[in-house]
């Protein structure tokens, strides 16, 4: 039915109810009275006009009554009460008295008849127009607001794919009650039993504010069944309106391994970002691109995206121009190994802050190509740091890695040497130079999770190097936000360390991914291939000599790093291309682990 037809239908129904109810009320109180008296006729006209006015004010003609609820009933109450009050006031002014009993009965009849006319459509729709196909028998975990909204939307859907048959909730006060005709069947510990008892075909976790630890516990219980489990989108997505409450998503490993977000010092970050020119190297990479997204929230004066790969820079540029059209974005295609180009860019752009995320990070590849790791990670950092010094940049933040602690790989050694260069530059420059160290990020290019997902997609097997190998994990947005926070805390020379939480066994990660993908370990086997060159069974964020136990900010520590003899590093850079790869690897490990004679003497002197 068109809006105009629907509007005139409702006006007609309301007019009939208003006119008949006041005459019926008068007749019930005075059966022998004159139904054509002046007071009754004028009162009915005033009541009719005022009702339509207040029906418009409270939007009674714009409501979708098939979804009517208590809120709509409240609006009917207000509209009817106001129209009766206007009629009573008119009687007092025109006739000097008020037919109070007549108006009270009229008010009651209006509430009942107008409310009934509206809710009758919903009752008819829910009773006689519900689809025959009920959808998959679904268990809703969480009998709160989100769970209730899900059930309401599923019941009102014309083609429901899911049929809610019960709630799960740990609140004992809700046990055995019904919400929208759906019973609360038990708590989380009852999931396995209830799935069998009620022939459940689908599970939805409907607690958007659920913390990660509780989500892991609930998912473990759901994993004991063979039923597909989905989860409500993140609470921030629901609040922003980017998704609706019934757009479920599969539980992903990021949901299980991520942590509850830390509250940022927004003012502290804004002080050094807002209205400033910010330059990000490696802006097309996983971390660099996310740093750019996070920076955009703080309205920098200009955001310069610098990277070597034109495709990745183009991709992040187009994404940000589309999502934040008012942001002043510019790009620079440049290799951090090109000293003259980097210096020229810094002099031209004159950034206030530089985030240096450009680096080679793949451990086995750098083990086979140590000279390339030196070029990009060490020389590239030196070039960008010195260019920042020449351009009088205020703050320089280098992205480092936990593999720089007691390094056993070329990649870790070169990142530790990059930290040493940054620390040395802080000693001789007016620019504040700091490094931020963290472990693996979930979903980054080249990380283990995309590899496992591809192996599962290909039918297996999933390859794990060692059953005892553990790693720290953090989501890319979380790491990027904390990098920005660390930059606001910088005084110069620090190596900040992000709290990575509890380490995760890689084999457990593989098992979770197989389960989340809907397979068993019999269908997708796990095989152990042995550790690769340069790898460690476990990673460290700080060595025993670097530990500061107190946090300088939630989830951020300040590390104590050993003394730096930069001359040893610079000597290597002068001659590394002339050395055999095996010799180069050994020298990198010696310098980064302070095993050379000069560094030992320096440490003793201190």
Q: 458-471 pLDDT, tens per residue?
A: 888 999 988 888 87
**Residue 406 neighbours by CB distance under 10 Å:** 17
Do 30 and 160 share a domain, yes or no? no
- Please indicate, yes or no, whether residues 75 and 154 belong to a single structural domain of this protein: no
Q: Identify the weakest region by mean pLDDT among 207-216, 281-290, 532-541.
A: 532-541
User: How far is residue 533's CA from residue 372's CA, in Å, rounded to a whole number?
Assistant: 17
Q: Residue 44 domain-assigned? A: yes
Both 416 and 292 in one domain: the answer is: yes
What does the mean pLDDT of the chain come to? 82
**Number of structural domains the chain divides into:** 3
Task: Return the percentage of the chain with pLDDT > 70, whole number.
Answer: 83
- Answer with the one of 186, 219, 251 that is the final residue of a domain: 251
On whether residue 528 sits in a domain, the answer given is no
DSSP state string for 226-281: -SEEEEPPPHHHHHHTSS-TT--EE--HHHHH--PPPPP-HHHHHHHHTTSEEEEE
**For residue 532, which of 433, 408, 370 has the smallest C-alpha distance?**
408
In Å, how far are 26, 105, 309, 360, 478 from 34, measured between CA atoms? 9, 18, 91, 96, 78
Q: Which of 83, 101, 128 is the last residue of a domain?
A: 128
Going from the C-alpha of 300 to that of each of 234, 353, 387, the distances in angstroms are: 27, 10, 21
d(CA 312, CA 542): 32
Specify whether the CB–CB gap between 351 and 310 falls below 8 A: no
CATH of the domain at 585: 3.40.50.720
Q: Got the DSSP string for 525-578?
A: -EEE--PPTT--SS--SS-TTS---SEEETTEEEE-PPP--HHHHHHHHHHGGG
Residue 171 lies in a domain: yes
> Is residue 208 domain-shared with residue 153, that is, in the same domain?
yes
The answer, yes or no, to whether residue 279 has pLDDT greater than 60, is yes
Name beta bridge partners: 441: 474
What pLDDT sits at residue 429?
A: 95
Read off the pLDDT of each residue in 384-407 and give the average, rounded to a whole number.
92
The C-alpha torsion from 440 through 445 and 449 to 454, rounded to 10°, is -170
User: 81, 108, 128: which is the final residue of a domain?
Assistant: 128
Rounded mean pLDDT, 235-258: 57
Residue 14: inside a domain, yes or no? Answer: yes
Q: Are 147 and 206 in contact (CB under 8 A)?
A: yes
Check residues 15 and 69 and name the one with the higher pLDDT.
15
Residue 533 forms part of a structural domain: no
User: Average pLDDT in the 564-583 region?
Assistant: 79
Give 373's contacts (C-beta < 8 A, 6+ positions apart): 360, 366, 410, 411, 413, 414, 588
Confidence of residue 373 (pLDDT cuts 50, 70, 90): very high
Cβ atoms of 531 and 406 closer than 8 Å: no
pLDDT digits (tens, 9 = 90+) for 578-599: 777 888 888 888 887 766 544 4
pLDDT at 236 (0 to 100): 47
**Range picked from 126-130, 286-290, 504-508 for highest mean pLDDT:** 286-290
Residue 374 has pLDDT above 90, yes or no: yes
pLDDT for res 272: 92
Question: Would you say residue 546 has pLDDT above 60?
Answer: no
Instruction: Please give the residue that has the higher pLDDT: either 497 or 209.
Output: 497
Given 361, 403, 415, 536, the catalytic residue: 403
Residue 489, in any domain of the structure: yes
Over 80: is that where the pLDDT of 242 sits? no
- The dihedral of CA 234, 237, 238, 240: what is its sign? positive
pLDDT of residue 65: 59
Q: Identify any residues that bridge with 330 across adjacent strands, giving them in sequence order.
A: 304
Phi, psi of 528 (to 5 degrees): -105, 125
pLDDT category at 543 given cuts 50, 70, 90 is low
Q: Are 362 and 450 in contact (CB under 8 A)?
A: no
Q: Residue 488: left if φ>0, alpha if ψ -120 to 50, beta else—which one? A: alpha
Residue 600: pLDDT over 50? no
Q: Does residue 56 contact residue 115 with C-beta atoms inside 8 Å? A: no
- Judgement on whether residues 149 and 117 belong to the same structural domain of the protein: no
Reported as a pLDDT band with limits 50, 70 and 90, residue 215 is confident
- Asked whether the predicted pLDDT for residue 379 surpasses 80, the reply is yes
Closest by CA position to 508, among listed 224, 299, 267, 220:
220
DSSP secondary structure string for all residues of 451-502: HHHHHHHTT-PEEES-TT-EE-EEEHHHHHHHHHHHHHH--SS-EEEE---S
101 and 200 co-located in one domain = no
Q: Tokens 């000097």 correspond to what residue?
A: 96
CB 553 within 8 A of CB 484: no
First and final CA of the chain: distance in angstroms?
A: 87
Using an 8 Å Cβ cutoff, are 564 and 417 in contact?
no
| pLDDT given for residue 595 in this prediction | 60
In a domain, 506, yes or no: no
Averaged pLDDT for residues 286-301: 92
For residue 166, give the H/E element and its range: strand 162-168
pLDDT of 327 reads 93
Cβ proximity of 14 and 54 under 8 Å? no
- The whole domain housing 226 covers 136-251
* Claim to verify: residue 167 and residue 47 sit in the same structural domain: no
* Annotation marks residue 403 as catalytic: yes
Six token digits for residue 438: 């963290």
What is the model's pLDDT at position 603?
A: 42
Could you tell me if 199 and 271 lie in one domain? Answer: no
Confidence of residue 3 (pLDDT cuts 50, 70, 90): low
CA quadruple 462, 464, 468, 473: dihedral, nearest 10: -90
| pLDDT in the model for residue 86 | 92
pTM of the model: 0.64
333 lies in the same domain as 478: yes
Q: Is 244's pLDDT higher than 60?
A: no
Angstrom distance (rounded) from CA 223 to CA 200: 14
* pLDDT higher than 90, residue 238: no
Q: How confident is the model at residue 446 (pLDDT cuts 50, 70, 90)?
A: low
Q: Which two tokens stand for residue 306?
A: 């610098």
- Strand runs labelled E in 334-482: 353-356, 395-399, 432-437, 440-442, 462-464, 470-471, 473-475
Please write the tens of the pLDDT for every residue from 30-87: 877 676 778 888 888 998 899 889 888 888 777 665 555 667 778 888 989 999 999 9
Cβ neighbours around 356 below 10 Å, total: 26
Radius of gyration of the chain (CA): 34
Average pLDDT, integer, range 102-112: 90
Higher pLDDT, 202 or 402: 202
- The residue that leads in pLDDT, 432 or 576, is 432
- In this structure, the answer to whether residues 157 and 290 fall within a common structural domain is no
Are 345 and 408 in the same domain? yes
Residue 450 C-beta-side C-alpha neighbours within 13 Å? 9
Angle at 28 between CA 24 and CA 30, to 5 degrees: 110
The pLDDT score that the predictor gives to residue 383 is 96
Burial label, 573 (beta-carbon count in 10 A; 0-12, 13-18, 19+): middle
Residue 115's Cβ-side half-sphere holds a number of Cα atoms within 13 Å equal to: 18
Closest CA to 363 of 529, 500, 531: 531
Backbone angles phi, psi at 428, to 5 degrees: -115, 0
* pLDDT (average), residues 550-579: 76
In a domain, 450, yes or no: no
The model's confidence at residue 430, banded by pLDDT at 50, 70 and 90, is very high
Q: What is the mean pLDDT of residues 154-178?
A: 82
Query: Which among 41, 34, 28 has a CA at the least distance from the CA of 87?
Result: 41
At residue 262, the pLDDT reads: 63
Looking at the structure, do residues 418 and 548 belong to the same domain, yes or no?
yes
């Amino acid at each position: 039915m068109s809006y105009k037809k629907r509007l005139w239908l409702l006006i007609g129904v309301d007019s009939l109810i208003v006119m008949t109810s006041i005459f019926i009320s008068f007749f019930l109180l005075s059966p022998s009275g004159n139904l054509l008296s002046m007071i009754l006729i004028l009162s009915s006209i005033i009541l009719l006009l005022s009702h339509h006015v207040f029906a418009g004010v409270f939007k009674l003609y714009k409501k979708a009554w098939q979804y009517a609820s208590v809120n709509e009933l409240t609006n009917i109450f207000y509209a009817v009460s106001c129209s009766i009050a206007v009629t009573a006031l008119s009687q007092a002014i025109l006739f000097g008295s008020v037919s109070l009993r007549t108006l009270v009965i009229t008010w009651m009849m209006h509430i009942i008849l107008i409310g009934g006319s509206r809710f009758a459509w919903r009752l008819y729709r829910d009773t006689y127009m519900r689809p025959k196909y009920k959808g998959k028998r679904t268990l809703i975990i969480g009998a709160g607001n989100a769970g209730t909204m899900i059930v309401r939307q599923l019941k009102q859907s014309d083609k429901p794919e899911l049929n809610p048959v019960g709630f799960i909730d740990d609140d004992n006060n809700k046990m055995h009650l019904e919400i929208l005709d759906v019973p609360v069947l038990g708590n989380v510990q009852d999931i396995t039993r209830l799935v069998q008892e009620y022939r459940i075909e689908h599970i939805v976790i409907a607690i958007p504010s659920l913390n990660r630890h509780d989500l892991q516990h609930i998912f473990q219980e759901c994993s004991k069944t063979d039923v597909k489990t989905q989860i409500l989108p993140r609470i921030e997505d629901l609040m922003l309106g980017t998704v609706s409450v019934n757009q479920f998503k599969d539980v992903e490993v990021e949901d299980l391994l991520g942590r509850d977000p830390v509250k940022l010092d927004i003012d502290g970050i804004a002080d050094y970002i807002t209205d400033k020119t910010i330059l990000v190297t490696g802006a097309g990479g996983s971390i660099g691109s996310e740093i750019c997204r996070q920076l955009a929230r703080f309205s920098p004066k200009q955001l310069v995206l610098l990277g070597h790969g034109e495709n990745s820079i183009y991709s992040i540029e187009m994404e940000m121009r589309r999502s934040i059209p008012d942001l002043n974005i510019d790009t620079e295609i440049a290799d951090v190994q090109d000293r003259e180009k980097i210096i020229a860019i810094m002099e031209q752009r004159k950034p206030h802050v530089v985030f240096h995320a450009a680096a080679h990070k793949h451990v086995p590849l750098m083990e086979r190509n140590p000279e390339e790791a030196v070029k990009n990670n060490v020389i590239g950092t030196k070039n960008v740091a010195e260019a920042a010094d020449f351009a009088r940049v205020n703050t320089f933040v280098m992205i480092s890695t936990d593999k720089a602690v007691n390094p056993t790989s070329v990649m870790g050694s070169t990142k530790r040497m990059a930290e040493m260069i940054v620390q040395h530059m802080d000693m001789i420059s007016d620019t504040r130079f700091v490094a931020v160290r963290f472990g693996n990020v979930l979903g980054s290019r080249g990380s283990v999770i995309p590899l496992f997902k591809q192996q599962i997609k290909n039918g297996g097997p999933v390859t794990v190097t060692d059953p005892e190998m553990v790693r720290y994990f953090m989501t890319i947005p979380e790491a990027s936000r904390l990098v920005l926070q660390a930059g606001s805390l910088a005084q110069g020379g620090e190596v900040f360390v992000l709290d990575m939480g509890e380490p995760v066994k890689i084999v457990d990660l593989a098992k979770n991914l197989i389960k989340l993908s809907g397979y068993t370990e019999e269908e997708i086997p796990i095989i152990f291939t042995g550790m690769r060159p340069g790898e460690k069974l476990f990673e460290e964020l700080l060595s025993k000599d670097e530990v500061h136990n107190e946090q300088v900010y939630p989830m951020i520590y300040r590390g104590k790093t050993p003394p730096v003899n930069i001359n040893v590093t610079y000597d290597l850079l002068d001659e590394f291309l002339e050395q055999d790869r095996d010799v180069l690897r050994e020298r990198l490990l010696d310098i980064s682990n302070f095993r050379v004679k000069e560094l030992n003497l320096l440490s003793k002197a201190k």
